[in-house]
Amino acid sequence: MPLLELEGVTLRFGGLRAVSELDWQVERGAVAALIGPNGAGKTTAFNLVTGVYPPSEGSVRFDGREIGGAPPHRIAGLGVARTFQNIRLFRGLSALENVVAALAAAHRPGLAEVLRAPGWQAREHALVARARELLGRLGLERYAEARADALPYGEQRRLEIARALATAPKLLLLDEPAAGMNPAEKDELRDLVARLRGDFGLTIVLIDHDVRFVMGLCERITVLDHGEKIAEGAPEAVRSDPRVIEAYLGVDVPA
């Protein structure tokens, strides 16, 4: 059974169909990509999966369970994590606090916080230690106490990934993780994403505009245009698909 399955999903905004009759599966353990020109509906597809928008029609299933229209925090609790096209860090909080917030998200503040029994204190220390470890694995340990918006751009993107990983997800959705990066940074990111699957046992879906970045990394690519799926398959097949080339008219698709 695929980890993520969209069947006949349509999203309408007033008269506009942002996504149209989308059928899409992502297999467990895959590294897949969702590409397409601007306005194709890629981020909208992510938003449909993560619960930001309920589908107007169709069903979204995660790990066998229907999640279409469920509130985002519940979907996150089921194991779906994401990063955003325009970085959405908790800017006034430190890098460490950003990650701790994700680790502690399931627990609502209450009496335990007020009473602070020794068991509680031990758990707090464990949380902070785990957060530091996560930051370390993404090369961010020296920024732990820094304000999130003080980090350099590339590090901010990595921090968003660290925070997403803190929720122990099964599925990680990365929305334009390489945006604004120079080629060297993109190579580093590509290596990082490749490692994430093995290190964390993840299924990963990427959105990106940089077709070359995606080609080297993903096993299966789905192409959207005007809210519809126009091609799908292995990178080489998709690259030479005439419909894809036409959709990207003007963009130089590397040979």
Partner 1 sequence: MRGRSGAALGALGLAFVLLEWVLPHALNPYYLTILTRIGVAIVAAVSLQLVSGFTGQFSIGHAGFMAVGAYASAALSVYLGAGWLASLAAVVPAPLARALYYPLPLLAGGALAAGAGLLVGIPTLRLRGDYLAIATLGFGEIIRVLILNVDAVGGARGFALTAASGVDLRYDDLGAIYAVVLASVAVIARLAYSSAGLAFRAVREDEIAAESIGVPTTRVKVLAFVVSSFFAGVAGAVFAHSEGYIHTNSFGFVRSFEIMVFVVLGGLGSITGAVLAATALTAAPELLRGFGELRMIVYSLGLIAVMILRPQGLLGARELDPARWLARWRERRAAA
Partner 2 sequence: MENLLQQLVNGVAWGSIYALVALGYTMVYGVLKLINFAHGEVYMVGAMTGFYTARALGLANRPSGLGLAATLLAAMATCAALGATIERVAYRPLRHAPRLAPLITAIGVSLLLQNTGQLVLGADPKFFPPLLASHEMLRVGSLAVSNIQLTVLATALALMAGLELVVMRTRVGRAMRAVSQDAPAAALMGVPVDRIIQLTFVLGSALAGAAGILVGLSNPKIDPLMGLMPGLKAFVAAVLGGIGSIPGAMVGGLLLGVVETLVAGYLSSTYRDAIAFVILIAILLYRPTGLFGSAQPEKV
Q: Which residues bind partner 2 (CB under 8 A)?
A: 43, 47, 52, 84
Q: Which two tokens stand for residue 214?
A: 């995606």
Give the interface segment with partner 1, choosing from 121-129, 190-198, 202-210, 235-243 (CB under 8 A): 121-129
Q: How far apart are CA 190 and CA 139, in angstroms?
A: 15
Least distance between partner 2 and beta carbon 162 (Å): 21
Cα 22 from chain centroid (whole Å): 19
Residues 77-106 that bind partner 1 (CB under 8 A): 77, 81-82, 84, 88-93, 97, 100-106
Q: Minimum distance between the CB of residue 2 and partner 1, rounded to whole angstroms?
A: 22
Nearest residue (CB) to partner 2, 84 versus 248: 84
Between CA 207 and CA 61, with CA 231 as vertex, the angle to 5 degrees is 60
Q: Which does 43 bind (CB under 5 to 8 A by kind): partner 1, partner 2, none?
A: partner 2
User: With respect to partner 2, which residue has the nearer C-beta, 92 or 250?
Assistant: 92
Site for partner 1 in 178-217 (CB under 8 A): none
What phi and psi values does residue 217 have, to the nearest 5 degrees?
Answer: -110, -40
The reply on whether position 108 binds partner 1 by CB under 8 A is: yes
Q: Is residue 155 a contact partner of residue 178, using CB atoms and an 8 Å limit?
A: no
Confirm or reject binding of residue 65 to partner 1 (CB under 8 A): no
**3-state class of 9 per DSSP?**
strand
The count of residues interacting with partner 1 (CB under 8 A) is 41
Q: Alpha-carbon distance 148 to 99, whole Å? A: 11
The pair of three-digit structure tokens given for residue 82, joined into one six-digit string: 């994401």
